[in-house]
Amino acid sequence: MSKVLIVEDEAAMASALSLLLKRMGHEAVTVATGAQGLAALDAGAPALVVLDIGLPDKSGIDVLAAIRERDKALPVLVITAHGNLQNAVEAKKRGASAYLVKPLDLRAFEASVAALLAAADGGVLQAAAPSDDPAHAPLLIGSSPAMQPAFAAIAHACAADVPVLITGPTGIGKSLTARIIHLHSARHAGPFVTLSCASLPESLLEAELFGHERGAFTGAQQTRIGHIERAAGGTLFLDEIGEIPPALQVKLLRLVEDKTFVRVGGREDLTVDLRIVTATNVDLVEQVEQKRFREDLYYRLRVLEVHMPPLAERTSDLPALCAYLLAGIGGGRRLSLSEPALAALRRYEWPGNVRELRNVLEHAAAVCSGDVILETHLPAVVRSAAPSAVEPGLLDAALHEWVDQRLRDGCDYADLHGELEGRLLATLLPRYGGKPTLLARALKLNRATLRKRLRGLGLAAEPEAGGAEPEGDDDES
């Protein structure tokens, strides 16, 4: 039985985690503020701390730093809602042992707790060391629910010195993600070397990657080091790794496993200390099944995976993304978006993702003579986009975001239920000609009951032919 300290200001969440820990056989102590958490830590030594970042009195990041001043090895599981990349990375830098995003997957929480406690009992847990990196990493803008798993994965990648595979569609920011991982890693002082595996023919790609000896081929008048040796001590980023030819996959596998390689035309084994980060917009599992990509290389490159979601799944980030991009392309102007223009951007499906968004905003900035971008300034393909069907996953993400905001506004369950019911009935009623009788029949509700709900929600219904209906003439369904 282990003592677990929960620092969480949401009473319902704290209660749920406490019950789960008790079912796991542990003792749970819950507090609601950072100050109370530090006091509880001083009063008794817990085996694990579960720490929320969003606390009412101070940031959980600051509480984490204070915990690390007291105990370098105490496991701390950080949890957060609407986290951003900076929170995730900073939590790992300050010594977070694990990082989970709300809404919590309770099975993942249970597995994390078990792993952290087992590691601590075995004396093998190592807290992430803070980085003194002075460089300011590029930004991944946004805080949408779809980005939370990516932020958590990036934080893990920054803290570990293992191969990382970044997946996601074209134009979503995989190269930017790789650079962020490097700048926040223990290798930040070393070089960051990039090579696109799709931009060169096989013979030239091999020479660029591994280097070549003098006389290795026609025109090789002197020995030349390749990208591998240039990345020594730092990070080698191989973009579009799915395009690497099969012959080079064998040589790359040896590099990943043994940090050993041979230059083109050479005979001497060379060793190098580097980290390999790769990216792809193709399904490597499918490539493996089709024998186009080596299975052993795939698993060696995918020790950690960061999946970047398409822009269409994170449209709630559009205002922040647009503000950031417009600040860089305004040409001295302080450009902003009108509401109709932003609505048009939300409707568009963004097949080119963030790269296409930048192009669209550059077009709008070029044709806009003032400081406010109107819908007419957007390209025709964006203006003409019809609203797309909402995927269940996107609806869930939007609902989570809405519920979190309403809870922060002080709503309780009755408020949430009433507002959701009102929105649903307001959407359904016009579909039945504004007639409560038809809507009640479709929903299998008592007509009088539905009318009462509509009046209570402020939804005026059109009077129906045939006069007033008697109250309670149907059974409640």
> What total of structural domains would you count in the chain?
4
The identity of residue 403, as a single letter, is: V
Q: Residue 471 domain-assigned?
A: no
The identity of residue 440, as a single letter, is: A
DSSP assigned state of 222? S
Domain final residue pick, 91, 121, 151: 121
Tell whether 331 and 301 lie within a shared domain: no
Tell whether 260 and 324 lie within a shared domain: no
Residue 395: its pLDDT value, please? Answer: 66
pLDDT in tens, 332-377: 788 888 888 888 999 999 999 999 999 999 999 999 888 889 989 9
Q: Residue 7 domain-assigned?
A: yes
Tell whether 195 and 327 lie within a shared domain: no
CATH of the domain at 373: 1.10.8.60
Q: How far apart are CA 334 and CA 374, in angstroms?
A: 14
CA nearest 315: which of 199, 144, 430, 178? 144
Residue 113: its pLDDT value, please? Answer: 85
The identity of residue 301, as a single letter, is: L
Residue 415: its pLDDT value, please? Answer: 83
Average pLDDT over residues 135-162: 78
201-220 CB burial, b ≥16 within 10 A, e <16? eeeebbbbbbbbbeebeeee
Tell whether 197 and 75 lie within a shared domain: no
Q: For tokens 């809870």, name the residue.
A: 407
Which pLDDT band holds residue 163 (cuts at 50, 70, 90)? very high
Is pTM beyond 0.85? Reply is no
The 3-state DSSP class for residue 359 equals helix
pLDDT in tens, 100-109: 877 777 777 8
Q: Residue 184 domain-assigned?
A: yes
Q: Residue 139 domain-assigned?
A: no
Q: Residue 47 domain-assigned?
A: yes
Which pLDDT band holds residue 476 (cuts at 50, 70, 90)? very low
Residue 82: its pLDDT value, please? Answer: 59
Which tokens is 113 given? 């707790």
164 backbone dihedrals φ, ψ, rounded to 5°: -130, 135
Q: For tokens 């109709």, name the residue.
A: 340
Tell whether 325 and 303 lie within a shared domain: no
Q: Which residue has the higher pLDDT, 80 or 53?
A: 53
Tell whether 451 and 430 lie within a shared domain: yes
Least confident of 17-21, 185-189, 290-294, 458-462: 458-462
Domain final residue pick, 99, 121, 143: 121
Tell whether 362 and 432 lie within a shared domain: no
82 backbone dihedrals φ, ψ, rounded to 5°: 50, 45
Residue 302: its pLDDT value, please? Answer: 95
pLDDT in tens, 404-441: 778 877 888 888 888 888 888 887 877 777 788 888 88
Residue 128: its pLDDT value, please? Answer: 34
Which tokens is 56 given? 């009412």
Q: Residue 287 domain-assigned?
A: yes
Which pLDDT band holds residue 305 (cuts at 50, 70, 90)? very high
| Structural domain boundaries enclosing 371 | 316-383
Q: Which residue has the higher pLDDT, 199 or 226?
A: 226
Tell whether 88 and 25 lie within a shared domain: yes
Which tokens is 197 given? 């595996």
Which tokens is 124 given? 């093998």
Tell whether 433 and 330 lie within a shared domain: no
CA nearest 417: which of 449, 452, 457? 457
Q: How far apart are CA 415 and CA 147, in angstroms?
A: 28
CA nearest 140: which of 81, 180, 192? 180
Angle between helices 353-367 and 339-347 (to 10 degrees): 150
Q: Residue 196 domain-assigned?
A: yes
Res. 463: pLDDT tops 60: no
Which tokens is 357 given? 């968004």
Contact predicate 322/342, CB 8 Å? yes
Residue 159: its pLDDT value, please? Answer: 85
Tell whether 299 and 344 lie within a shared domain: no
Give the CA distances from residue 67 to residues 34, 120, 270, 446, in Å, rounded to whole numbers and listed in that order: 10, 16, 44, 58
How much is the mean pLDDT over the chain?
83
Residue 5: its pLDDT value, please? Answer: 94
Domain final residue pick, 121, 152, 169: 121
Residue 466: its pLDDT value, please? Answer: 46
Q: Residue 333 domain-assigned?
A: yes
* 103 prior amide bond cis, ω within 30: yes
Tell whether 370 and 421 lie within a shared domain: no
Tell whether 39 and 12 lie within a shared domain: yes
How many CB atoms are closer than 10 A to CB 364? Answer: 24
CA nearest 136: which of 86, 185, 183? 183
